[in-house]
Structure 1
Amino acid sequence: MRYFLLFALGFTLIYCSEQGQRTFPLKTKLTESVYASATIQPDSLYKAYAVVAGILDKNLVAEGDKVHKGEALVHINNNAPKLNTANARLALELAQENYSGSAAVLRSLKDEIHAADLTFYNDSVNYYRQKRLWEQKIGSKVEYDNRLLAYELAKNKLNLLKANYSRTKKELETQLRQAKNNYNASQINSEDFTVTSKINGTVYALFKEPGEIVTTLEPLASVGSSTVFVIELLVDEVDIVKLELGQKALITMDAYPQEVFVAKISKIYPRKDERSQTFMVEAVFEQAPKTLYPGLSGEGNIIISEKEAALTIPKEFLFNGNQVLTQDGAVDVMVGLQNLDRVEILKGIDESTQLLKPEE
């Protein structure tokens, strides 16, 4: 009667006899899950690097400070860019002066062209007058030839000066554009010595102190979201194929030992870490704890499937993967869901089948 009452209440019937430990299959709610180690990190967490080398002049923020996108984080000291910028500015000013200033080269050439144009006009008038006289057999051939030579020389000089003006103008325009480009590039390089935040968030770490050498290979700061945190889960490669986006995960943390938090899988990274043989999976809290810090650790159980009334047996009563031991001998069964303790039996036995625990 005692075992009958226990079975009616839904407990597994287990007893010891000369034949060993026994049990009956039991219908119960079964949840299959995948275990993962968990680490809490701010969303959009990234490390800020310098694009130039130098000496850290000063940290413009402190750890824990809230920052806006574009706000300066650190400043690097290097005098070479400042000198380059100054030289580029002087070169630009000189190019502008040569092109359009009061002492411009082009203005001098314009004056020469104007003078040559007057000379050419005067020589052309004299030439054509002499030509008409010569056509009327008035004057000498020598005088006509001299007027023609003067006319040709004036014409050639004017053309040469105009060509020189066009060439010089093009060269000065090119020099001016180059000077502007060099100056703009030097300003950009100067801006590179100030590292700014890429997001609105919180400064979680500063890795350098003023006076230390800065390289492009070492991070200067760590910045992430102030309000949104993600759960980084490391899943064994055996279990990764069971996961899908949107699956529920139950998270426990060392900082909150008495609470279980519900989260959902939001991202599955396809690359395996060869050292740990795990895959990275991200989850987001449905309702996050009030206070979180980067690096808080815990554990996660990602729920793969659930069944309200599954026929289950303890895992130790299953052997060879798909067999159980009855009073009539070994019986093949079809297994379904399973967790750490119990496994679902889909076919082969029922609730009335008494099972014997196989010898180890």
Structure 2
Amino acid sequence: MKLIRLICILLTIVSCSENKDKILPTERNLTESVYSSVTIQPDSLYQVYAIVAGILDENLVEEGDVVSKDTILMQIINNTPKLNTQNAKLALDLAKENYSGSAAVLDGIKDEIVAARLKHINDSINYYRQKKLWKQQIGSKLQYDTKKLNYELASNNLKLIQSRYNRTKNELQTQVRQAENNYKKSLITTKDFAVKSKINGKVYALYKEPGEIITTTEPLASIGSATRFIIEMLIDEVDIVRISENQEVIIHLDAYNGDVFTGKVSKIYPKKDERNQTFKVEAVFKNLPNVLYPGLSGEANIIIAKKDSVLTIPKAYLVDDDKVKTDDGLIPIKTGLQNLEYIEVLSGITKDTPIYKPE
């Protein structure tokens, strides 16, 4: 009698367990999405670098300040460029003085040309006079040859001095232009010690204090948009092929517990990050939160597809990804959309087909 009662109890437990794990497919609205963690960053965020080395003299802005393009952010000091600028100015003044000043080199050569031209004229007169007399057999051959030689030497000397004048003039002009370029270059270098903003935006961080050494390899500040923010997401390579621009994004931020924000995919970076096997995807807010800060984190779901009133079953009831357990045994089904909990059934069973949770 006790044995019969025990068997009945066991049968009852088994029956209740089977009934508990038996369900019917249900119709529901189904949304398929791709999950991602989220980091908020200002649009156009960039690191500010100096293009010259030196010592930070002064920060002219504070963190949180809104700045315009070309606003001077900080001033760097270095005496070497100033000395170089002064030396370049002295070299330019000397080059100009040599070219056109009171002690111009060309003036001396001009005087030589005048003297050479007078001698050339005088030797020319003497030569042609002696030549005419020699034709009349007056005078000696030595006198004729001497006058001719003096004339030829005067002609060559005049040509040489004129050539030296032109060459010296070109060299002095080149020296002036080179000195001007060096001076302008030194002025530009001096201006580079004033670090300016490249965009209209907000100062989010300052990394150096006055008195610290500045190099060209360390960032000095961080600047980005003051009003426009980007939602950065890292998408697994398995899901990236399903992501496209303008897809809807549902965002939950840790700083806004319980609030839901929407956005849309704005950019997909084509290069995979080999370190974590993900692709970077950006989205923009449709409804911007009241306050945002760089680095705020959260999570997001990128909506891939939506369907209304589709036949679904819990994913836990799937066997081998494409079968379900029924009263008639395992039956293959064709599936469609899915989310974390449910999957769409396209064919194989109906809403009246009981299914069992696999053991």
| TM-score in terms of structure 1 length | 0.92
> Does the aligned pair in 2 maintain the 1:247–1:302 contact within 8 Å?
yes
The aligned counterpart of 2:204 is: 204
After superposition, give the CA deviation of every residue in 1:226-261 in whole Å (9 maximum; x if it has no partner).
Answer: 111111112223222221111100011122223211
Amino acid at match of 2:82: K
Whole-angstrom distance in 2 between the partners of 1:290 and 1:200: 20
After superposition, give the CA deviation of every residue in 1:171-225 in whole Å (9 maximum; x if it has no partner).
Answer: 2122222212222222222222222111111111100001111122210010111
Amino acid at match of 1:198: K
The aligned counterpart of 1:311 is: 311
Amino acid at match of 1:89: K
Q: Sequence identity, in percent?
A: 61
The aligned counterpart of 1:32 is: 32
Whole-angstrom distance in 1 between the partners of 2:26 and 2:187: 76
> Does the aligned pair in 2 maintain the 1:106–1:169 contact within 8 Å?
yes
Q: How many residues align?
A: 345
After superposition, give the CA deviation of every residue in 1:110-155 in whole Å (9 maximum; x if it has no partner).
Answer: 1210121111112112211221121122233233222212211211
Whole-angstrom distance in 2 between the partners of 1:88 and 1:164: 27
Structure 1 residue ranges without an equivalent (≥5): 1-14
Secondary structure of the corresponding residue to residue 257 of structure 1: coil
Whole-angstrom distance in 1 between the partners of 2:166 and 2:97: 18
Residue 152 (str. 1) matches residue 152 (str. 2): yes
TM-fit CA distance, 1:20: 4.5
The aligned counterpart of 2:270 is: 270
Whole-angstrom distance in 1 between the partners of 2:93 and 2:16: 101
Q: Measured at CA, do residues 16 and 346 of structure 1 come closer, stay the same or move farther in structure 2, by a change above 3 Å?
A: farther
Whole-angstrom distance in 1 between the partners of 2:316 and 2:84: 77
Whole-angstrom distance in 1 between the partners of 2:154 and 2:94: 33
The aligned counterpart of 2:6 is: none
Whole-angstrom distance in 2 between the partners of 1:290 and 1:107: 76
**Moved segments of 4+, more than 6 Å:** none
Whole-angstrom distance in 1 between the partners of 2:347 and 2:96: 91
| TM-score in terms of structure 2 length | 0.92
Whole-angstrom distance in 2 between the partners of 1:198 and 1:186: 22
Secondary structure of the corresponding residue to residue 330 of structure 1: strand
Aligned CA-pair RMSD: 1.6
Whole-angstrom distance in 1 between the partners of 2:23 and 2:79: 82
After superposition, give the CA deviation of every residue in 1:309-357 in whole Å (9 maximum; x if it has no partner).
Answer: 2110011111211110101100111111100110001111111111111
Whole-angstrom distance in 1 between the partners of 2:216 and 2:276: 28
Residue 352 (str. 1) matches residue 352 (str. 2): yes
> Does the aligned pair in 2 maintain the 1:20–1:357 contact within 8 Å?
no
TM-fit CA distance, 1:107: 1.5
